[in-house]
């Protein structure tokens, strides 16, 4: 297999200057190079050794496995396709020895399937053969930068008080099973540098999950930068992301770095990525692949950045790929770990918890210190729980902020104090595709049970909203007896909400309802 590792001295000096990694720091970075092709292996080792890295090279997978058992490595470059012990086996072994190891796979067959599988299993990046010396230097420089950032923040991530604070914060934002699954997945992917693609309705909390991933990553001490790709026209979005040179366009009176450079070492959230134009997508793909940023109006490389990418959208990215509005290679680069954030309608048991959290937060923000916070009455909480929340968590947040601004200190908040619309969703509006959007590697029976559970929860939320929280009325609408309705609610944990959230005053002439299912007739 041919290689292209002839180094260009000027390019190498330029790359090293932009990465700003000193020789002393490089000497502390333990690097393993594994490839059964002698020429490529020795050339990589020689080049990286000349750069100052502490390099160990070996030509057999079994030898590399033995090395990994004896000592951890900071960075490992491994050939994906080798006889006996392949690159994926070495990838898993390296991460098992040291979860902080950055693994870069080298492959002469960089198919989408193999590359995505390597990234999904924890690879940091991949180098398609043949690659140039500069490409190797840039990739290694970004990896080394990530190692150094991780060393700086590791003590912060291992701080028990900080970990407890983060755990308490997530509990304040939701304890439902649907939300816990999202948080658990985010927690597992956070320590890696894998790209994440977050989907969910507008206002469901996608940026919150992105921030959670950043805060629990090795980049937590570096910037978290968010850009809304749908809010800016194409020329302005390109300038904001990549920066521009003086004179690049009318009004460009000075050089300006873009958000990619601002986020260097940290995380960049690409919100509503599917709205980005194809030309900018192509330019972004190059940055993701090699970290090289070229500003608008520039003919040279202006910066080399090391950024973790998180994409988010309230649309269907796969539909955008099929429609040709989103590049397939960019989508698969960013969709290493997909996370779907459920709507507030899918986790109504979190509504009282969120309402109390937002009330406390906005009261402290808008009021004078020492003023007594108001409280939500039982009837107000029942009203909140029966609302359809088409705007999701963001709508609830705005409603509670309105209350915090206008309510008197120490007051009891009543339903009339809540600025709610009368909007009620129809069960027909439930998108069947959304019911299966969270299924991953499920068997037929497992998928069937999960879809049925999601339908039941969505239907119950709509039903109780339409009935105003009155269980007898809800049972009549659904055409079931109250015992069946109680059991469905109990199955989905709706009765565990505080303050008997789903119960309201009885209708005239109606018996008072309780939270206890009707007893079965004696045998």
Domain ranges of the chain: 9-157, 174-340, 350-523
Per the prediction, the chain carries an average pLDDT of: 80
Q: Are 418 and 383 in contact (CB under 8 A)?
A: yes
**What's the pLDDT band for 425 if we cut at 50, 70, 90?**
very low
At the fourth CATH level, the homologous superfamily of domain 9-157 is Response regulator (3.40.50.2300)
The residues, ordered by sequence, that sit 6+ positions from 362 with a Cβ below 8 Å of its Cβ are 400, 401, 404, 405
Whether the pLDDT of residue 128 is over 70: the answer is yes
Whether the pLDDT of residue 270 is over 90: the answer is yes
Give the model's pLDDT for residue 115: 72
Q: Are 230 and 277 in contact (CB under 8 A)?
A: no
Quick one: fold of 350-523? Helicase, Ruva Protein; domain 3 (1.10.8)
Give the model's pLDDT for residue 9: 45
Give the model's pLDDT for residue 54: 92
Least confident of 43-52, 321-330, 349-358, 506-515: 506-515
Radius of gyration of the chain from its Cα atoms, rounded to whole angstroms: 27
C-alpha 249/C-alpha 251 separation (Å) is: 6
Give the model's pLDDT for residue 441: 55
Whether the pLDDT of residue 280 is over 90: the answer is yes
Least confident of 12-21, 254-263, 424-433, 456-465: 424-433
- 258-282 average pLDDT score: 93
Q: Which residue has the higher pLDDT, 300 or 429?
A: 300
Whether the pLDDT of residue 433 is over 70: the answer is no
**What's the pLDDT band for 493 if we cut at 50, 70, 90?**
low
pLDDT digits (tens, 9 = 90+) for 181-211: 999 999 989 988 889 999 999 889 899 899 9
- 292-311 average pLDDT score: 87
Give the model's pLDDT for residue 47: 92
Q: Which residue has the higher pLDDT, 15 or 493?
A: 493
pLDDT digits (tens, 9 = 90+) for 206-249: 998 999 999 988 888 889 999 999 888 888 899 999 998 888 88
Q: Are 326 and 274 in contact (CB under 8 A)?
A: yes
The answer to whether domain 174-340 and domain 350-523 are alike in fold is no
Give the model's pLDDT for residue 186: 93
Whether the pLDDT of residue 3 is over 50: the answer is no
pLDDT digits (tens, 9 = 90+) for 349-366: 889 889 998 999 899 999
Least confident of 150-164, 264-278, 376-390, 438-452: 150-164
Spacing of C-alpha 310 from chain mean position: 6
Q: Which residue has the higher pLDDT, 113 or 121?
A: 121
C-alpha 146/C-alpha 219 separation (Å) is: 8
Give the model's pLDDT for residue 232: 84
Residue with tokens 């927690």: 187
CATH number corresponding to 174-340? 3.40.50.300
Give the model's pLDDT for residue 278: 93
**What's the pLDDT band for 149 if we cut at 50, 70, 90?**
confident
- 412-424 average pLDDT score: 81
Q: From the CB of residue 146, how many other CB atoms can be counted at a distance below 10 Å?
A: 22
């Amino acid at each position: 297999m041919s290689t292209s590792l002839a180094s260009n001295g000027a390019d190498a000096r330029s790359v090293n200057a932009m990465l700003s990694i000193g020789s002393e720091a490089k000497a502390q970075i333990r690097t393993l190079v594994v490839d059964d092709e002698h020429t490529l292996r020795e050339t990589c080792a020689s080049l990286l050794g000349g750069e100052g890295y502490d390099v160990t090279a070996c030509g057999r997978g079994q030898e590399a496995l033995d090395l990994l058992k004896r000592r951890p490595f900071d960075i490992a470059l491994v050939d994906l396709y080798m006889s006996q012990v392949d690159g994926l086996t070495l990838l898993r072994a390296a991460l098992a020895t040291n979860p902080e190891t950055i693994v870069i796979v080298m492959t002469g067959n960089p198919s989408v399937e193999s590359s995505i599988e390597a990234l999904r299993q924890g690879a940091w990046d991949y180098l398609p053969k043949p690659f140039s010396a500069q490409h190797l230097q840039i990739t290694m420089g970004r990896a080394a930068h990530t190692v150094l950032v991780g060393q700086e923040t590791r003590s912060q991530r291992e701080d028990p008080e900080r970990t407890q604070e983060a755990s308490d914060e997530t509990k304040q934002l939701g304890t439902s099973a649907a939300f816990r699954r999202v948080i658990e997945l985010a927690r597992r992917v956070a320590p890696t540098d894998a790209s994440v693609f977050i989907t969910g309705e507008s206002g469901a909390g996608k940026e919150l999950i992105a921030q959670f991933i950043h805060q629990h990553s090795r980049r937590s001490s570096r910037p978290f930068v968010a850009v809304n790709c749908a809010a800016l026209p194409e020329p302005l979005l390109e300038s904001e992301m990549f920066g521009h040179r003086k004179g690049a366009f009318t009004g460009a009176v000075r050089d300006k770095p873009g958000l990619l450079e601002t986020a260097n070492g940290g995380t960049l959230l690409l919100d509503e990525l599917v709205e980005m134009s194809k030309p900018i997508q192509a330019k972004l793909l190059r940055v993701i692949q090699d970290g090289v940023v070229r500003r608008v109006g520039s003919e040279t490389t202006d910066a080399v950045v090391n950024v973790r990418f998180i994409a988010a959208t309230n649309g269907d990215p796969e539909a955008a790929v099929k429609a040709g509005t989103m590049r397939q290679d960019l989508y698969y680069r960013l969709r290493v770990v997909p996370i779907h954030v459920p709507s507030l309608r899918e986790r109504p048991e979190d509504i009282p918890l969120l309402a109390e959290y937002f009330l406390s937060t906005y009261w402290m923000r808008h009021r004078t210190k020492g003023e007594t916070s108001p409280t939500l009455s039982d009837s107000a909480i029942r009203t909140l729980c029966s609302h359809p929340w088409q705007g999701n968590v963001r709508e609830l947040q705005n409603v509670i902020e309105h209350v915090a601004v206008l309510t008197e200190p120490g007051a009891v908040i009543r339903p009339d104090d809540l600025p709610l619309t009368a909007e009620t969703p129809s069960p027909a509006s439930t998108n069947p595709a959304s019911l299966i959007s969270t299924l991953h590697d499920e068997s037929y029976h497992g998928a069937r049970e999960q879809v049925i559970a999601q339908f039941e929860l969505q239907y119950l939320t709509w039903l109780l909203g339409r009935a105003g929280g009155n269980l007898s009325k809800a049972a009549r609408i659904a055409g079931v007896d109250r015992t069946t309705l109680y059991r469905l609610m109990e199955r989905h944990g709706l009765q565990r909400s505080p303050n008997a959230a789903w119960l309201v005053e009885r209708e005239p002439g109606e018996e008072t309802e309780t939270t206890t299912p009707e007893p079965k007739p004696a045998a």
